[in-house]
Amino acid sequence: MKIATVLGARPQFIKASVVSQAFAQAGLEEVIIHTGQHFDAKMSDIFFQDLDLPQPHHHLEIHSLNHGAMTGRMMERLEELLIADRPDWICVYGDTNSTLAGALVGAKLQIPIAHVEAGLRSYNRGMPEEINRVVTDHLSALLFAPTPLAVDCLQQEGISAGVHLVGDVMMDTVCRYREKAKTGSFILEHLNLETQPFYLVTIHRPANTDRRDRLEAILQSLTQLDHPVVFPLHPRTRGRIEAMDLTDYLAHPALRMTSPASYLDMLKLQATCQAVITDSGGVQKEAYMLRRPCFTLRQETEWRETIDSGWNQLVEPEDLPQKIRNFIPPVQWDSLYGEGNASGKIAEILLGG
């Protein structure tokens, strides 16, 4: 059985690392197609190195375009490759333009689609990711849901055939690599934070970076926290800071601005920080998996179980310092995302399909 895996962005490389290993162990042939959506070496190449992800068989090098142009060009190139390779399945991850392009081409070529991380809903159609995940779910033959809530969301939309509750493959990666991160990452030494408490921040979404007043409010609130702030800068965020003449914050003594972090470095930072501040979906989950408080600079989240558990809070920038000061960690922590064996279940189900 041949599976074409379509990847393009940092979170997908992380998820695919464990699933690709499970495919190989199950004897499934995999052809990896990298769309190029994330093209910076620290947002792409380093994950193939750190996580033993096989090198892509095809690299489309499509990036830095508006949503429509990017998705359209991806579809054009993917169609050529998939007609030539004719896989038995197309595997897509999450909710990026690469995900949508792979799903649309697969549907038109009548190649069945397997969607890893199916059923997530923020119910904010203003987010491009929400459109991508909804469309992909409705086109998929196999839907690998990470949580019972994701299964419920699919059922509410009339999707029940092909739905499998397998757990979250990011739990697999955390379980597999956190020990390696303890000894293989030297990020704390590099930042002189071996014994000092700190906060970890990731910000990249357009809602937080495309308006100067919003981005400045976030940066200002970070300077008011009681510990240093480690801030691995997404290339998009750095570009907005520079374009909006907010570059004074790049050298602010309270902010440790760094280049994008490797996965092992991020695991080390997340596991040892006082709290995580983010607008990323995946980072919210990883914070929970590592039992770190999380403060999400959004008005909604697709990972609602982290909110219900008390480990995650939705906050506005101006409220952030007080929310952090007043936070009391919950006593209870449940394994919301499985036991770290989701990738094996996915391979087994595909092999049976």
Q: How far apart are CA 304 and CA 251, in angstroms?
A: 35
The count of other CB atoms within 10 Å of the CB of residue 83 is 11
36 backbone dihedrals φ, ψ, rounded to 5°: 95, 5
Q: How far apart are CA 116 and CA 322, in angstroms?
A: 37
Nearest to 30 by CA among 9, 53, 50, 14: 53
Of the CA atoms within 13 Å of residue 149, those in its CB half-sphere come to 15
42: exposed, middle or buried (C-beta count within 10 Å: 0-12, 13-18, 19+)?
middle
Give the total residue count for the chain.
Answer: 353
Residue 144 CB partners (closer than 8 Å, separation 6+):
114, 115, 116, 117, 118, 164, 166, 342, 345, 346, 349
Distances (CA, A) of 97 to 85, 115, 137, 335, 350: 22, 14, 14, 30, 24
Residue 45 CB partners (closer than 8 Å, separation 6+):
none
Catalytic positions, written as ranges: 204
Looking at the DSSP bridge assignments, the partners of residue 278 are 202, 296
Using the 8-state DSSP alphabet, how is residue 318 labeled? G
13 backbone dihedrals φ, ψ, rounded to 5°: -60, -40
3-state secondary structure of 141: coil
The first and second tokens of residue 204, run together, are 């990249």
